Homo-oligomer: A and B are copies of this chain.
């Protein structure tokens, strides 16, 4: 269910990719920027608002990305995995991380539950299937995410019983799609 919603949103993004120019290198990026003035990338996953604070396709970083995400009460990411390192720093609200190892089984199965709250930091072991929920009924959940090896190669599961081999590859991720698209256009314009 989530996976199909995600793919629809993803396809819509590809279709409506704007002509906004992406940064080829962060030499073009102002050194200091105000996070509160950065564009929200919309609800790219239902219930989640995403800002790329410092990104690869969007700003030219090569080795790290920093995101700021806000999850509405009851909102959650899809079950997914990726091979990069990922560290969360929670600045507001509370929630639960669901985590299942990807090794030694055909599908994630029952995940372990890790509750967290404001000032928590948590990490996702590389390639482990996981999902983050805002379990607070009244308050937004907000966290910074740091990943390595951008741009992210994402694999989305329908649910915890989806075989690892059936997880759907998503590249570029939804908030990177417009930058990826415009980079391709820029290349063809050079002919």
Contact = CB atoms under 8 A, between A and B. Distances in A.
Interface stretch (A143-151, A167-175, A178-186): A143-151
Contacts of A125: 26-27
A154 interface: no
Contacts of A57: none
Range of interface residues on A (Cβ < 8 Å): 35 or more
Interface in A29-81: 29, 31-36, 53-54, 61-64, 66
Interface stretch (A6-14, A82-90, A155-163): A82-90
A32 B122 contact: yes
A87 B144 CA distance: 12
A178 B66 CA distance: 28
A129 interface: no
B64 A120 contact: no
A121 B33 contact: yes
A123 B115 CA distance: 32
Contact of A114 (B29, B31, B116, B146): B31
A127 to B, nearest CB: 13
Contacts of A62: 85, 148
Query: Which among A36, A144, A148 has the greatest number of chain B C-beta atoms within 10 A?
Result: A148
Given A53-B89, A119-B36, A146 B31 contact: no
A100 to B, nearest CB: 12
